[in-house]
Structures are given as structure tokens and as C-alpha cells.
Amino acid sequence: MHYGEVISSVALVFGAGLGLGALFFPNWAAGVVRLMEDPDPLKPGGFSEFRATYGGLFLFSHLMTLVIIIKMPAVFSVMAALPLAAGWIGAGLGRAFSLLMDRERNREPGLIPVWIPMELIIGLAIAAPIAQFTG
């Protein structure tokens, strides 16, 4: 296994772990992203979003990418990893944009300055299989 695939695999296991945690512990996921379900009793079901998006989507998208990286030829590894890597990088850039543009709404930066580099690093780590083609 190429070192890029190893780096990517570690980042993918981390992402899948976040998803697994959110799937089984949605209150934890809600706290991490600092969101809450709609308190309006006329709008039930919003809590399922934590299990679905932060749980199932994270878990299975990262696991499927991991399986492809482990089981398929190198070119497929890159093709499978890049969309997910771009998503993480996009999240980091979106969070940086929020840090700059939403100062009053964010009140305090909290963990935003921590998550920006984390998301960028995770995105780049997931994209690491491309290193096989650079020499």
C-alpha cells in the first residue's frame, strides 16, 4: 500500500468515526456542530438530521471511499477520494469565510479557528493517494 493510501485511510477512518459517533450519539454531534433540534412541537423530526447527515452520511461515505482505496487499483483510489477530499476542504474554506463574515452571529470564534485547519488537513489527507502519480 502506497504511503498516500495509508494517510488517506487514517483520515477516512477518522471521518467514519465521527459519523459512527453521530449515528449513535446524536446529542454529541449536536454539541460538536453547536446546532439543536427545532423546539417547535409542530415541527417534529429535525433531530433525525444529526443521525442522518452527521451520522449515516459521514460514516458510509468515508467507509465506501476507504473500501475503494483498499480494494481497487490506484487510479480508482484517487477518483473515489477526491470528491470527499474536496468536501472537507470546502468545509474548511466555508468555515474560514464564516469566521470573516459572521463576526456578530458567531459572537466568539470558539472552535472555528481549530476546525479550519483540521478540515483542510483532513481534506488534503484524504486526497493523499494522488501522491502516487507525482513521482
Listed by start position, the domains of the chain span: 3-133
Name the pTM for this structure.
Answer: 0.87
Q: If you ran DSSP here, which 8-state letter would residue 128 be given?
A: G
| Secondary structure of residue 134 in the 3-state scheme | coil
| pLDDT the model gives residue 62 | 97
Q: CB–CB of 121/101 below 8 Å?
A: no
Q: How far apart are CA 63 and CA 53, in angstroms?
A: 14
Checking if the pLDDT of 12 tops 70, the result is yes
| Single-letter residue type at 104 | E
Q: How far apart are CA 102 and CA 108, in angstroms?
A: 10
Q: How far apart are CA 43 and CA 38, in angstroms?
A: 7
